[in-house]
Structure 1
Amino acid sequence: MMFSRLQARPRLATCLALFALVVSIVAIYWPGLGGSFVFDDYPNLLDNPAVRVDKLDAGQWLSAMLSSPASSLQRPLAMFTFALNYFFTGYDAWAMKLTNVGMHAFNALLVFALVRALQRAAAKGPIEGAARALPWFATIAWALHPLHVTAVLYVVQRMEVLAHVPVFAGLWCYVRGRTNLLQGKRGWGWIALGILGGSAMGLLSKESALLLPLYALGIEAFVFRFRGRDGKREPHLLTLYIWLLAVPLVAGTAWLLPRVMDPAAFAGRDFTLHDRLLTEARIVVDYLRWTVFPDVRVMGLYHDDYVISRSWWGPHSPIPAMVVLLALAVGGWMVRKSRPLVALGIFWYFAAHTMTATVVPLELVFEHRNYFALLGVVLALGDLLLCANFAQRIPIVTRTLALIFILVCAATTLMRANEWDSLLRFARSEATKHPNSARATYEYARALIGISGYDPKSPLRKEIFRALDVARRVPGSSTLPEQAELIYSARIGIEPAPGLWDALRAKLRIRSGGPQEQLSLIAMTNCAAQDLCAFPPQEMLDTFQAGLERGPHAGVMTIYANYALHVLGDRPLGLRLLRESVALDPSNAQFQVNLIKLLNSMGLVEESRQHIAVLRTLGRLDQYGPAADELEKTLPAPATTR
């Protein structure tokens, strides 16, 4: 009985310490809960009507789950949680951010369990002294690191946070299964649950969960070393990884390579595949620098001002970064036997960036891409500071460094959370840190406009025009600043600046089909349709023509059709444009719905029925069946001729 009491006390102390960690996470992120939605929150949530679930209807919930515009896989589990938030609290950014913080805190508990299991599996003897603090150091440093602020307080990046719940849990299951096998117990069920179950569940939130088998390979290679209970190599494990990694790698490469080699894959980017690969070497090193030496002055949501490497030589040469990465990889390999957790941490850091820092034509820099990679860094750092031989010789120095690192992380995260406490403060902070960022400067101007309420007498009027002018002049800026200034000028009743319409059209001729360019056209069309902006019709028509100069584009034509229908009242033009947009992209359900509604209003029943039939075939699990049923109910009696 005395022994059970002694055993219970450490467990109680551990639970209390983990509870204190969760409270600390919530407390540090608390100032940022008062902020607003930003950037991709709008297309994924605020401008996504499917998320607005207001009743317990299976069709509504299914539509919400399959409504993500961010991925062809729809990320249904993440979208379900957004719909759940809306069902209870509507578009309350505070509630959605708090949900993110809760998920991040839960992940911290999983990280603790995972690191503790890894340390026990890698230990060659009893874990004593400062080494026992490794799980605590890695967990606290990971949970409170400022690089996670954009993953946690940027609402839509719940996808990244939620995807890693089954990743961390799956890796823990894998360690549990392998430990059982070494002890002569049943473990293959745990291994299958961890790798297959974790990957499948994580994929429902974001594709980054597909890296789980690669992370498990690192555990196997550096901790368990493919050994069985008898100390010999376990052939079943080699077979497992051939099927889990080698076969999908060959198949994935065969599918992906032609697509990334196609020049059209980078048509909407200001960099090529060659530029991307050179630049990402520098970015991955910068991620590492930001992890080890957190600096609030350079961290932020927007990094579109990152200078692209166009060649091997010059002021932005990737060669020094490549040397650093090679040295890191070689160092990890050299210590794989003496310090397996250091080698594993380095491997995890590289593995976590294989999807987002290689050939896939994504944007170049986002801090939330380090959500798992950061664990690799703090695992390696903690092992060196608390467990290595030199740490035993100078314990005061290494333990002090470990404590300072945690305190710096916590303080920097608190400062960053305070920057997110209001839309204006966040926007001003981002624009100050990144004055050459087209997005940051535009968002600051937009925040000022929102606060002004379009009051012609607002004291912010002069600052608004100054901020818009700054945003317009940033190299590589989109049409958003011109659009915002045209709308602001129209709404306060003044003439726009000379040449503003021409500047807008010049940018559209260069890149008309990009998401920001389409958002500009949508905003201007909506403003005109709501009688808030008295734009000259000829200026708008010339603008749409500029957007179509590079060729027909389904999205631009749909926006043009809305302008023709709701502003010009030109139904024949609207019908022609909607027919053309559907012909260009027949798999787009919204385009089909737009056309069907117009056909119904014009009495074109047979054509409408054809498109309703097409709508039923789109999506997954009869996703658009309810919408098709509703549209079918509005079919009028057939018109004679048209």
Structure 2
Amino acid sequence: MTGLHLEHKQQKYFWVLGIPLIVAVLYGASIGSPFVYDDRIHIFENTDVTGFQGLMDFASVIRIFQSKFGLLGRPVLIVTYGLNYLYSGSDPAGFRLTNLFIHTANCLLVFVLILLLSRTFGGKNNRSFMTALLGAALFAAHPLLTESVTYIAGRSSSLCAFFYFAALVFVVQSGGRNGPSHAVVLLLAIACGVLAWLVKQDAVTLPLAAIGLVWLSWPRNTVRRQAIGTFVWVAILLAALLFQRGHIAAVEQLTRENSSLVAAGFEETIPLTPYLLTSIKELTTYYLWRMFVPVHLSVDPDPTIIHNLASPGLWISLVVLLSLCTAIWMLRKSRPVLAVGIMLIVISPLSAYAAFPLADVVAEHRAYISTLGAVIIMAAVLVQTRYPVVLSAVALVSYFWLTVDRNLVWRDEATLWRDAAQKAPEKLRPHLNLGALYQVRGDNQQAIKEYEFVLKRVPKHDAALANLGSVYLALNQVDQAETMLNRAITAQTHFPNTYINLAVVRLRQGRFEDARRLLKEAEALNPRQPMVHHNLGDIFFNEHHTSQAIVEYLAELQINPGSPITHLHLAMAYEASGSPADSLKHYLILQRLQPANTEVQAAIRHLQQ
């Protein structure tokens, strides 16, 4: 690399230590950021996480591996969440610190992989090292990967990538080994592939990527060995798909129905054909160019759905993908590192997502593994330019700035959804999420503004009507709340919160039987819907049936253990039933949840006298 020579091993190791430093500088400030988006769903509403008692608690581990989706239930990922929750509780810092360690480890694997590839293809020692170092630095600082690092639920992509990248390293290494060591290293690659699959099904493309490396990086005079390697990886892929076909069908049905999000008032998953066509288009129109120029990023993009083959965007994307495949073939001998980089983009999880309909066509954390190919290409090109140091510095500084800016967006849920709403002005979900966030924070006027934005575009939107009714309840405007909720009921809503909120209206009106009936309807729509049992408890408490109220409050805490209002009402019910010790226990829990609550502190002092 012109203008920069690293001749001594000690100096080289010093530069490699810069990779963790980049991650720490760019992401360190995000460690204290709160949970955002659906982090809480993956952690606090997952009993496998909250009930995890450690790796030596075999019952917990076995339960995680025996989920209804089998090995597709992401058991290794759930175990990491469980360990975080066991040692960090509800503090997001421990979860985010783990994400940073995983990203750092991935960057070091990227360094090792590029170094192996460069040396395999006869690159000079110094240039190979600098190509690997630059590629790892670009990966560490890449703004497109922010969602997978800062977003705790994005760990599914980064942790899968750790085993995915390790498998690719072992595949390249095995090509240069002979005898038993070749088989051992290849077995290590397979073991990493299995672990990647147990984290997330992004690993479904690993066997194909491994086959690509077998033919691109293994010596050309080992055709027989390459053929055997290909057979082994094809057999592994087919065995995984056949062995898990029942669970794959169950996951496919779940994602196609998208019942949880539909019940929450969001859009249904689009049918397979439009999803497939749109995904092919978005591979190039959204993901590909952002792998190199990562600007205009968003937590909730709004792609244009394609419904037929007449879309120019679809055909442009197909032409680009065909051109990339052609480039792999043409560069395989003259520029093999570039060929590998392009192959790892084409054969990556983004391609697999196109055939498996999900609620969102585009989500940036899905590009984590695919971006490996992009940084290989950029590093290989930049080190061979006339001014490699200057151009590499410009690229890195640009990425640093963009990643810092992106982390500022992710540091708070309000900035996250305002950014998404600004970049997709007509998409409803950012405004719904902003409304819910403002509502939780007590900014009712802002919440009303966001819900009215949604209702102007979709007058019968279930979630907006139900949540707006809830806001009016908080403002004690019961009549307006009832009007909004009845509008949703008239529209034959399947959104449980509508029935829950209307039940609260009936409870305030003293119509306890009507409230009880509405809560039962909500529970029928979603048996684990938070606040159903809480409001049933309130009904029994108002009817002076404190023992039954306690039963309902405890049932609510089984579903929603961190609910402050439920702990408060349970403490009041225990006190009313003559159980001051149990009452104090829940007041103390509430004090930990709300340390600044003076009324709780007064109640604790009263009970301790």
Considering the TM-score relative to the shorter chain, is it more than 0.5?
Answer: yes
Q: Which residue in the other structure is 1:239 paired with?
A: 231
Cα 1:541–1:203 shift into 2, 3 Å: same
- Paired with 2:71 and 2:230, the residues of 1 have a C-alpha distance of 32
Alpha-carbon contact 1:30-1:417 (below 8 Å) kept = no
Cα deviation code 1:516-550 (max 9, x no counterpart): x45x3697499789x899899758857976x89xx
Q: Which residue in the other structure is 1:208 paired with?
A: 202
Cα 1:251–1:71 shift into 2, 3 Å: closer
Task: Report the TM-score, using the length of structure 2 for normalisation.
Answer: 0.75
Shift of 1:279: 0.3
Cα 1:524–1:471 shift into 2, 3 Å: same
Q: Which residue in the other structure is 1:413 paired with?
A: 403
Is 1:307 matched up with 2:304?
Answer: yes
Structure 1 residue matching 2:298: 3-state secondary structure: coil
Task: Report the TM-score, using the length of structure 1 for normalisation.
Answer: 0.72
Shift of 1:478: 6.0
Structure 2 residue matching 1:34: 3-state secondary structure: coil
Q: Which residue in the other structure is 2:369 paired with?
A: 372
Alpha-carbon contact 1:104-1:161 (below 8 Å) kept = yes
1:438-449 paired onto structure 2 within 5 Å: 438-449=428-439
Is 1:482 matched up with 2:465?
Answer: yes
- Paired with 1:507 and 1:264, the residues of 2 have a C-alpha distance of 23
Cα deviation code 1:78-128 (max 9, x no counterpart): 2222222222221111221121111111111111111111211122xx516
Structure 1 residue matching 2:95: 3-state secondary structure: helix
Q: Which residue in the other structure is 2:328 paired with?
A: 332
Cα 1:536–1:130 shift into 2, 3 Å: farther
Cα deviation code 1:586-638 (max 9, x no counterpart): xxx99xxxxxxxxxxxxxxxxxxxxxxxxxxxxxxxxxxxxxxxxxxxxxxxx
- Paired with 1:262 and 1:461, the residues of 2 have a C-alpha distance of 34
1:215-294 paired onto structure 2 within 5 Å: 215-224=209-218, 227-228=221-222, 234-245=226-237, 269-285=268-284, 286-294=286-294
Shift of 1:426: 2.6
What RMSD in Å do the two structures reach over aligned CA positions? Answer: 4.0
- Paired with 2:255 and 2:86, the residues of 1 have a C-alpha distance of 43
- Paired with 2:112 and 2:303, the residues of 1 have a C-alpha distance of 37
Q: Which residue in the other structure is 2:596 paired with?
A: none
Alpha-carbon contact 2:207-2:234 (below 8 Å) kept = no
- Paired with 1:9 and 1:526, the residues of 2 have a C-alpha distance of 74
Alpha-carbon contact 1:265-1:361 (below 8 Å) kept = no
- Paired with 1:535 and 1:444, the residues of 2 have a C-alpha distance of 32
Q: Which residue in the other structure is 2:187 paired with?
A: 192
Q: Which residue in the other structure is 1:500 paired with?
A: 484
Greater CA drift, 244-253 or 489-498: 244-253
- Paired with 2:509 and 2:392, the residues of 1 have a C-alpha distance of 58
Cα 1:307–1:208 shift into 2, 3 Å: same
Structure 2 residue matching 1:435: 3-state secondary structure: coil
Q: Letter of the aligned partner of 2:232 in structure 1?
A: L
Q: Which residue in the other structure is 2:87 paired with?
A: 88
Q: Which residue in the other structure is 1:136 paired with?
A: 133
Structure 1 residue matching 2:72: 3-state secondary structure: coil
- Paired with 1:535 and 1:114, the residues of 2 have a C-alpha distance of 68
- Paired with 2:248 and 2:41, the residues of 1 have a C-alpha distance of 26
Structure 2 residue matching 1:213: 3-state secondary structure: helix
Alpha-carbon contact 1:32-1:419 (below 8 Å) kept = no
Q: Which residue in the other structure is 2:564 paired with?
A: none
Q: Which residue in the other structure is 1:470 paired with?
A: 453
- Paired with 1:59 and 1:533, the residues of 2 have a C-alpha distance of 50
Q: Letter of the aligned partner of 2:175 in structure 1?
A: R
Q: Which residue in the other structure is 2:116 paired with?
A: 117
Q: Which residue in the other structure is 1:152 paired with?
A: 149
Q: Which residue in the other structure is 2:75 paired with?
A: 76
Greater CA drift, 246-255 or 484-493: 246-255
Structure 1 residue matching 2:93: 3-state secondary structure: helix
Q: Letter of the aligned partner of 1:425 in structure 2?
A: T
Cα 1:226–1:129 shift into 2, 3 Å: closer
Q: Letter of the aligned partner of 1:156 in structure 2?
A: A
- Paired with 2:501 and 2:362, the residues of 1 have a C-alpha distance of 30
1:5-20 paired onto structure 2 within 5 Å: 10-20=8-18
Q: Which residue in the other structure is 1:428 paired with?
A: 418
- Paired with 1:78 and 1:280, the residues of 2 have a C-alpha distance of 26
Cα 1:224–1:258 shift into 2, 3 Å: same
Shift of 1:241: 3.3
Cα 1:222–1:502 shift into 2, 3 Å: farther
- Paired with 2:184 and 2:459, the residues of 1 have a C-alpha distance of 52
Q: Letter of the aligned partner of 1:191 in structure 2?
A: L
Alpha-carbon contact 1:544-1:560 (below 8 Å) kept = no
Cα deviation code 1:371-422 (max 9, x no counterpart): 11000112123223334xxx4xxx12x6544332222212111101111222
Alpha-carbon contact 1:222-1:340 (below 8 Å) kept = yes
- Paired with 1:154 and 1:525, the residues of 2 have a C-alpha distance of 34
Structure 1: gaps of 5 or more residues: 1-7, 453-459, 571-588, 591-642
- Paired with 2:440 and 2:258, the residues of 1 have a C-alpha distance of 34
- Paired with 1:96 and 1:426, the residues of 2 have a C-alpha distance of 19
> Of the candidates 382, 388, 392, which is equivalent to residue 402 of structure 1?
392
Is 1:347 matched up with 2:337?
Answer: no
Cα 1:119–1:554 shift into 2, 3 Å: same
1:557-576 paired onto structure 2 within 5 Å: 562=533, 566=537
Alpha-carbon contact 2:148-2:157 (below 8 Å) kept = yes
- Paired with 2:318 and 2:441, the residues of 1 have a C-alpha distance of 46
Is 1:491 matched up with 2:483?
Answer: no
- Paired with 2:127 and 2:534, the residues of 1 have a C-alpha distance of 68
Shift of 1:159: 2.1
Alpha-carbon contact 2:175-2:217 (below 8 Å) kept = no
Alpha-carbon contact 1:50-1:60 (below 8 Å) kept = no
Shift of 1:361: 4.2
Structure 2: gaps of 5 or more residues: 1-5, 263-267, 542-557, 560-609
Cα 1:270–1:90 shift into 2, 3 Å: closer
Structure 2 residue matching 1:204: 3-state secondary structure: helix
Alpha-carbon contact 1:180-1:187 (below 8 Å) kept = yes
- Paired with 2:133 and 2:455, the residues of 1 have a C-alpha distance of 48
Alpha-carbon contact 1:438-1:477 (below 8 Å) kept = no
> Of the candidates 52, 73, 76, which is equivalent to residue 50 of structure 2?
52
Shift of 1:466: 0.8
- Paired with 1:54 and 1:20, the residues of 2 have a C-alpha distance of 36
Matched residues, number? 527
Structure 2 residue matching 1:430: 3-state secondary structure: helix
Q: Percent identity?
A: 19
